[in-house]
Amino acid sequence: MPSVSFIEELPNELLLAVIEPLPTPTLLDLMLVSHRVHTMATEALKRRLLATADLGRHEILLECYHPAAKLTTPSLACRARSIQPLGSPLSSSSSSSSPSSLRPLDSANWALADLGRLYSHFRVEVTDTRGGRRVDAQEGAPKPTQHVFLDDAELFSQLCASTSIVRQGPRPGIFLSHHGIGEGVVRVWRDWLAEAAGRGESGGTNNAADGATAKGEGVLWADAQKNVGLRFTVRKTESDTTRAQGGHLLVLTEEPPVEYTLQYEELLVRTTKILRAMEKSAVQEITNAGNAIVIASYQV
C-alpha cells in the first residue's frame, strides 16, 4: 500500500503523465485503484480516444457486399468526419476533416460510460488507385452505391459488412498491417426500404441527416452490440427485370419484385473498437517489420 499512497500524493499533471503511456487494458485495470486514479485514467483514455481522429498512416476500409458478389465488390475507403457520442447533436463543422473539427462538443466532464458511447463517423468513398497510390476522392464526387433486389414475396436482403484498419504498402493490395475492427450482416428489410425511399423523395432524409445519425436513427447495424453501422440514402429503381416480373405478378401478390439503390452516406464505428484495433495494429507492424501482408481482391 505505500506505493498507492505515493501515487496519491503526486500532482494531477504528474499522475497523468505516469499513467498515460500505459496500454489501454492496463489503464482500465488501474481505474479500480482509487477514485482519483479512476478520474486520471478516464482523462487519459478520453485523450487517447480523441486522438483516433488522426489515423496517421492508417486508413479505415469497408467491405460491404451481397453474399453472392463478394469477389466482385471493391473495398471502400473511409474519410473521418467527426467523433460524437451517440445521442448528441453533431457540430456544424463536422463535415470538415481537420483534426480540430473532429473533437466532440462538451467533452470536458465526460465519465467512463460516455466514452463507451463515442462513435467515429466516416464518409464512404470509392477506393481510387492511380500510379500505385490511393487518391482521395474530390469533394462533391459521386458517393458509392449498393443495389438491392427483392424477389416476389422476399422480405429482406442481406449485406455482409466488414471494417478493418490498414496501413498501405508500396503498391495497391499490399498492406504493412491489417487488423479487423468488426464484421457482421446487415439485414435490409422490404418495409424499411420503402419507408426510407419515401423519406428520401420528400427530402426528409437529407435535411435531418446529421441529427438523425447522431441519435442512431436510420442506421443499419451490422452487429447486436452496435459497434459498426451504416447509413444510406435509399432510392427506388426499376430495371427491366422488375418491370417485366412486376407486370405479371402484381395481381397475384401484394409484394411484387422491387429494386432499390442504396447510396452510402456514412459509416459509424464505436471509437473504442478503433482504438483497440490501432494498438493491435501497432504491435503487428513491429512483429512483421520488413514483411508485407498481401491482400488479394478483385477490383471493378
Task: Tell me the per-residue pLDDT of 237-276, one tens digit each, with 9 for 90 and over.
Answer: 876 555 555 455 444 557 789 999 999 999 999 999 998 8
Return d(Cα 216, Cα 214) in angstroms, integer.
5
The cell numbers describing 132, all together, are 500505385
The band of 91, judged by pLDDT with boundaries at 50, 70 and 90, is very low
Region of poorest pLDDT, from 4-18, 131-145, 205-219, 225-239:
205-219
Mean pLDDT along residues 33-37:
83
Distance, in Å, from the CA atom of 138 to the CA atom of 76, rounded to the nearest integer, reads 15
Q: Which of 62-66, 120-124, 179-183, 291-295 has the lowest mean pLDDT?
A: 291-295
The pTM of the full predicted model, rounded to 2 decimals, is 0.75
pLDDT at 58: 85
Residue 183 scores a pLDDT above 70: yes
Return the C-alpha cell found at 44.
Answer: 487519459
| H helix or E strand, kind and range, residue 293 | strand 293-294
CB atoms closer than 10 angstroms to residue 263: 16
The residue behind cell 428520401 is 200
The single residue listed with the C-alpha cell 464505428 is 269
* 90 vs 117, higher pLDDT: 117
pLDDT-derived band of residue 207, with 50, 70 and 90 as boundaries? very low
| 155-193 as b/e: b if 16+ CB within 10 A | eebebbbbbbbbbbbeebeebbbbbebbebebebebeeb
The alpha carbon of residue 215 and the mean position of all alpha carbons in its chain are separated, in whole angstroms, by: 15
Is-contact 150 190, C-beta < 8 A? yes
Q: Residue 285: what pLDDT?
A: 65
Residue 219 above 80 pLDDT?
yes
Q: Per the structure block, which three cell numbers stand in for 154?
A: 422476399
Q: Tell me the average pLDDT across 157-182.
A: 83
pLDDT at 164 > cutoff 70: yes
pLDDT digits (tens, 9 = 90+) for 130-155: 444 455 555 567 889 999 999 888 89
Query: pLDDT band for position 34 (50/70/90)?
Result: confident
Q: Residue 103 has which C-alpha cell?
A: 473533437
The Cα–Cα gap between 69 and 53 comes to 32
| Cell digits of residue 176 | 504493412
Residue 256 has a pLDDT of 86
Residue 255 is placed in which grid cell? 409484394
- Asked if residue 174 lies in contact with residue 46, where contact means CB atoms within 8 angstroms, the answer is no
Residue showing cell 504498402: 169
Which residues are CB-contacts of 151 (< 8 A; sequence separation ≥ 6)?
Answer: 257
pLDDT band at 231 (very low <50, low <70, confident <90, very high): very high
Report the mean per-residue pLDDT for the chain: 75
Q: Which residues lie closer than 8 Å to 213 by C-beta, 6 or more apart?
A: 90, 121, 219, 231, 265, 266, 268
